Amino acid sequence: MSSDTVYRLHESLQIAAIYPPYIMVGWSWGSIDVQNFVLSYMDEVVGMMTLDGTDSGYAFDPANPPTASYATGLVENFLQLPTAVLQGAADAGQIPLVFGYFQPSDNLPATAKSASNQWYVTSKTLTTILQELQIMIPSANVLNSTYISKGTSKPLSNMPFVALTADANGADWISRQNTLVSLSSNSIHLHTNASHFIPLEEPRWSCQCLQAAA
């Protein structure tokens, strides 16, 4: 569950002597972890930022269970393939970016793309991806319950919060992003025409948003 990830992250920061205050940043599913971290350690966080971040409403979107099931099946098949075969498919751009594999056309150094794809073909990484797929809906559900338990329309209080939304994802997504932003009384909502892969397509936007959160 995301709560376990948050606990391990917090303990790891302490062990590494990286002490608060923190500014928490999450892209996509990482936003669930960021929100849980803020709710768990509110007094240690001075700002948060999401890049097209997943919201607690993810748990109730009827499109998500079949999508997660389909993705789970593909990753299970990846685990059955010889590493060299999977590596070749990744390097050839035959596996969608949504699974974490960079495409030949992506604007990154070839060595960076190759190193990342090599990491994503390991059984350890694929097993981790499977575990994440299995906890996504339950974790979003728990986050939603945590928000409700606060008994207020502003469960993030006045936490400085910058959200960057990819408008290309459609009106329903934008509406849910508006709801997410409303959870803090001290929020800024920015928009981009990029796809969901904002850090890859609009890295400067990400840096500007981080500066605003700071």
96 has a pLDDT exceeding 70 = yes
Q: Compute the distance between CA of residue 57 and CA of residue 54 in angstroms, rounded to an integer.
A: 8
Q: Which residue type occupies 57?
A: G
140 has a pLDDT exceeding 60 = yes
Residue-wise pLDDT tens digits, 44-82: 999 999 999 999 998 898 888 888 888 888 889 888 988
pLDDT score for 212 = 54
Radius of gyration over every alpha carbon of the chain, rounded to an integer in angstroms = 18
Contact by Cβ (8 Å): 161, 184: yes
What CATH number does domain 2-62+153-213 carry, 3.40.190.10, 2.120.10.80, 3.40.50.1820, 3.30.70.100?
Answer: 3.40.50.1820
pLDDT score for 53 = 92
pLDDT score for 208 = 59
Instruction: Write down the pTM of the prediction.
Output: 0.84
| Strand runs labelled E in the chain | 22-27, 45-51, 161-166, 187-192
The stretch 21-42 carries a mean pLDDT of 93
pLDDT score for 209 = 57
Contact by Cβ (8 Å): 70, 46: no
169 has a pLDDT exceeding 90 = no
Contacts of 10 (CB under 8 A, 6+ apart): 37, 40, 41
115 has a pLDDT exceeding 90 = no
Mean pLDDT for the chain overall: 86
pLDDT score for 68 = 87
Candidates 182, 190, 180, 195; CA nearest to 213 is 190
Residue-wise pLDDT tens digits, 98-108: 777 777 777 77
Confidence of residue 214 (pLDDT cuts 50, 70, 90): low
Confidence of residue 211 (pLDDT cuts 50, 70, 90): low
The stretch 31-37 carries a mean pLDDT of 94
124 has a pLDDT exceeding 70 = yes
Q: Compute the distance between CA of residue 49 and CA of residue 210 in angstroms, rounded to an integer.
A: 7
The stretch 138-154 carries a mean pLDDT of 92
194 has a pLDDT exceeding 90 = no
